[in-house]
Amino acid sequence: MPVPTPEEWRELSSLLDEALDLAVEDREAWLERQARERPELAASLRELLHARDSIARNGFLEGTATPPPVRGGQAGAVCGPYVLESLIGRGGMGSVWQARRHDGRYDAVVAVKLLTTSLGADGERRFRREGQILARLRHPHIAQLLDAGVTDDGQAYLVLEHVDGSHIDVHCKTKALDLRARVRLVIDVLAAVAHAHSNLVVHRDLKPSNILVDAEGRVKLLDFGIAKLIDNDDGAPGASALTREGGQLLTPLYASPEQVTGGEITTATDVYALGVVLFELLTEARPYRLTRDSRGALEEAIVTGDPVRPSELVDDALRKRGLRGDLDTIVLKALRKSPGERYATVTAFADDLQAWLDGRPVRARPDSFGYRASRFVRRHALGVSAAAAVAVATLGGAGVAIWQAGVARAEQQRAEEITNFITGVFKNADPYVGNGTTLTAADLLKQAYGRLDQSLGDREDLRLELLWLIGSSLASLQAFSDAEPMLLKVAETSARVFGPADARTIRAQVSIANLHRFRGRLDAMDTVVTGALAMLRSLPDPDPALLVTALLDSVHLTIDRGNAKQSVVPAREALALAEARLPANHELRVNAAQMWAVALEHDASDSQAALKAAASAMELTRAYYGGVESHPRVVDAHLILGRALGRVGKTRDAIAVLQRADSASAVGLGENNLTRAFIRASMASYRLMIGQETGALADYNEARRLFVANGDTASVSYGIVQGHRGNILVRLNRHAEALSPLNNALQVMRKSRGDGHPRLLPYLVRIAVADAATGRADIAARTLAGLATQMADTVNVPAATRIAWLHAQGLLERQRRRPAEAVRLIESALAIPVDSIAALAQVPMRVDLGLALLDAGDVARAESTLTSARASFRAAGLDVTVSEQDAERALAAMRRRRE
């Protein structure tokens, strides 16, 4: 198709739009019509539709681009001392060639594997060094690694013993081997793996395609330790569990739970993979029954699902009998979720298999208490901060909400440093490490705790210090139930030994207060914070850092309890104290500045002052974190500044600042981090204020995706986001789509606030509106009427909610063709006084009033109402919303009727 002119393109483009909407059966007819009406374009159109079919069949531009792999490799190419002869195949990490030495030294045929990944300078050094180590691995059942090198153009290659054989599963099938023969083969495999393990080499990527059997029935294992050669990070899952085959990510069929969750790879990982291989060889089926055919389902099954008993998968009676009992038990033991519960060594695994062959009892024991796969869940070490959570302020039914920001990650880093330190200190002493048992940092801390009493004798002070360190570390790893008794002990003992006024005692109490906060125990927190503050104030010279921390905690408390206006006083005191008494580069000064800005924001009496405070907090934060924009604390500062800008009406500026926060957050914490959800939600609410409805919806959609990606579909924040999505969809007249998110939001709110809580009302109202628009007017009417009693309570129900309720009833009446009633209801809604920001959000309601007046036949008033509404839209400089379009259409229709 030649390049069209701009005019041709305009036509072609809209025709293409039509074409893309067509069903296959209608296409021919449509094409013929186009051939008649626009013959000059018909040929192009046909071509385009052809292209579309081709895409549907073969795909095109699926996924995203990556630079293509380095493809050394043509017959005749030279790779170190070898010359490539013919391509054997495309393996997981590159292409494999049959090759021969060209210097005539040995006349051996080898296999040369060209790796697709390119290594950095460090990577190359390591590659060569590790390659030499691997080359020393010699065993009759292991394909020998002969050489590992890098060519001058940076092409990494491996030279391996050339093996002629078939994959073990294919071999077993084609030779129709019986159970015993298969088990014997596996024992050979295990011998090879055991040899490698005793040389400290873990395979990491065992699977049938890496286990060949030659013509004489001899087993040869390929690619030992190679996954590690090209991994950057020791212990990272890297390419092993997620092997690429010709560009496609393979399903992680042989990946162990720890590989899937990103945990440590040990010899136990190989045991698991061998368990899967054994399972498949014995049953010719996969261990996990999946409800969905997706990678995610498989990963979930690996981590939390129970494998099926091999004997249950086999129909043949003879086989079933052979498998049932010991063989079942052996396989399942290798497939345990927790590495520590599998066979400790591959040799033990092989021994049991041999015992089965010999008819002797096996050592593996089925779990007699009803074994269920334990959840091997990776703990999310969300850092916690004393002073960075910011509370929600909702502007009710106007649909604008300001968000609860995430938690600062600075503390996470500190906690990680601490735990690394502790891990380092205890690692050598601990007999469990290095035995294939995976310990989490929290486990280690708990072990350290257990060790405290023994190793410190009567060094009470040291023990207490360590106890506090361990307890607060556990708390920041969110291991609250473990941390709590420790911290309580520290507080109690410190009070006894050092006195209640001692800094160590108070420090412990402040930690406990934070713990209460994150568990939502606000009353307990209140008691502790009040006590700590009182104690500090009673001292002649209290530690300023402690006092500031305690004050900031009390600010948090007031905000979390919804008494935001009371936060100003302690926040001011904290800031003054921090500025006066703490050194210039103390981190708490940043916290105090940020909290001050937040307190002013909530106080809401002087938004200009709040803006100044926010800007100054931003300066301070940036200075403290050395211009690193992506530091989580800097992101928080952006968030605060953004909201402050929003409150003074500089909405577009607010959005711009939040966009920076979004980018910074993506860089600093990764693209799927949860803070971005809150940033996006804030952006969305501002977009709504300037009428960018579709933009706001897109932001809320993204926020939702981030919540889901972080495994959160139950928190109040998630519920609020769903609620907003629903609201916007209603505004965009996409009522049917709105019902699901709105109901979701209602569900979440119900759970958190309880039935009958006023916070549920806006959702109920909105659901009714959607119901009414999707043909369930009666249900809607009943719902709205049923809320009357609650709505009468003007103390607990915000005005915005009542307004929304009246408005909704008005819409319903209009739908039921009772426009006079509709007018009355909407007018009463508009009569309720609101502040200027909310007034802006009410313009769509005035449009609805105008439309109702039109229905009622009062054309004059309708016209003036709609005209004034349109003027308000324009004056506010909003983007054109659905509502404004409705008004335009109605006014245009009225104009036409006059003419």
Partner 1 sequence: MTSPTTALVRERAELVQRADAGEAHARDLLFATLYDELHRLAQREVRRQGADSPLSATTLLHEAYLAFGGREGTVFPDQSHFLAYAARAMRGVLIDRVRARQAAKRGGGVRATTLDADYAEQIDDPDELLALHEALETLATLDPMLARVVDLKFFCGFTFAEIAAVQNVAERTVQRHWDKARVLLRNAMRTPTH
In the block, residue with structure tokens 């936060």: 567
Beta carbons of 419 and 447 less than 8 angstroms apart: no
Given the complex with partner 1, which of 69 and 366 has the nearer CB atom? 69
Q: Select which of 147, 188, 205, 482 is catalytic.
A: 205
Torsion angles phi and psi, residue 776, rounded to 5: -115, 50
Give the distance, in angstroms, between the CA of residue 881 and the centroid of all CA atoms in the same chain: 32
**Cα dihedral: 255, 256, 262, 265 (round 10):** -110
Which regions of 134-265 does DSSP assign to beta strands (E)?
145-150, 156-161, 165-167, 211-214, 219-221, 244-245, 248-249
Part of the chain binding partner 1 (CB under 8 A), chosen from 329-337, 653-661, 772-780, 808-816: 653-661
692 binds partner 1 (CB under 8 A): yes
CB of 35 to partner 1, least distance (A): 18
Given the complex with partner 1, which of 526 and 693 has the nearer CB atom? 693
Given the complex with partner 1, which of 694 and 794 has the nearer CB atom? 694
Under DSSP, is residue 743 helix (H, G, I), strand (E, B) or coil?
Answer: helix
Part of the chain binding partner 1 (CB under 8 A), chosen from 6-14, 263-271, 529-537, 798-806: 6-14
Alpha carbon distance 306, 302 (integer Å): 8
879 binds partner 1 (CB under 8 A): yes
Given the complex with partner 1, which of 656 and 839 has the nearer CB atom? 656
666 binds partner 1 (CB under 8 A): yes
CB of 674 to partner 1, least distance (A): 16
Instruction: Using CB under 8 A, pick the residue from 23, 24, 61, 580 that binds partner 1.
Output: 61
CB of 55 to partner 1, least distance (A): 6
Alpha carbon distance 13, 10 (integer Å): 5
697 binds partner 1 (CB under 8 A): yes
Q: Active-site residue 351, yes or no?
A: no
The residues, ordered by sequence, that sit 6+ positions from 676 with a Cβ below 8 Å of its Cβ are: 662, 665, 666, 669, 702, 703, 706
Site for partner 1 in 702-761 (CB under 8 A): 702, 705
- Angle between helix axes 24-37 and 6-21 (nearest 10 degrees) is 150
Amino acid symbol at 777: A
CB of 328 to partner 1, least distance (A): 36
Alpha carbon distance 790, 785 (integer Å): 10
1 binds partner 1 (CB under 8 A): yes
Instruction: Using CB under 8 A, pick the residue from 28, 37, 47, 523 that binds partner 1.
Output: 47
In the block, residue with structure tokens 């793996």: 193
Site for partner 1 in 130-159 (CB under 8 A): 152-154
Alpha carbon distance 246, 264 (integer Å): 27
Instruction: Using CB under 8 A, pick the residue from 29, 33, 120, 562 that binds partner 1.
Output: 120
Residue 623, token pair as written in the block = 């200075």
Alpha carbon distance 685, 664 (integer Å): 20
CB of 660 to partner 1, least distance (A): 5
With CB under 8 A, what is the number of residues at the site for partner 1?
77
Given the complex with partner 1, which of 450 and 627 has the nearer CB atom? 627
Instruction: Using CB under 8 A, pick the residue from 465, 629, 855, 858 that binds partner 1.
Output: 629
Site for partner 1 in 66-95 (CB under 8 A): 66-72
Given the complex with partner 1, which of 154 and 499 has the nearer CB atom? 154
DSSP state string for 504-536: HHHHHHHHHHHHHHHTT-HHHHHHHHHHHHHHH
Longest dimension (CA), the chain: 103
31 binds partner 1 (CB under 8 A): no
48 binds partner 1 (CB under 8 A): yes
614 binds partner 1 (CB under 8 A): no
Instruction: Using CB under 8 A, pick the residue from 659, 715, 743, 752 that binds partner 1.
Output: 659
Instruction: Using CB under 8 A, pick the residue from 501, 695, 737, 750 that binds partner 1.
Output: 695
CA nearest to 158, candidates 102, 79, 48: 79
443 binds partner 1 (CB under 8 A): no
CB of 278 to partner 1, least distance (A): 30
Given the complex with partner 1, which of 170 and 242 has the nearer CB atom? 242
CB of 232 to partner 1, least distance (A): 5
Residue 876: CB atoms within 10 A of its CB come to 13
Site for partner 1 in 197-256 (CB under 8 A): 230-232, 238, 242, 246-249
Given the complex with partner 1, which of 1 and 892 has the nearer CB atom? 1
Given the complex with partner 1, which of 295 and 782 has the nearer CB atom? 295
- What's the N-to-C CA distance of the chain in angstroms? 48
Part of the chain binding partner 1 (CB under 8 A), chosen from 267-275, 686-694, 866-874, 885-893: 686-694
CB of 762 to partner 1, least distance (A): 24
CA nearest to 112, candidates 138, 142, 140, 86: 86
**Cα dihedral: 470, 472, 476, 479 (round 10):** 60
Alpha carbon distance 464, 486 (integer Å): 10
Which residue numbers are catalytic?
A: 205
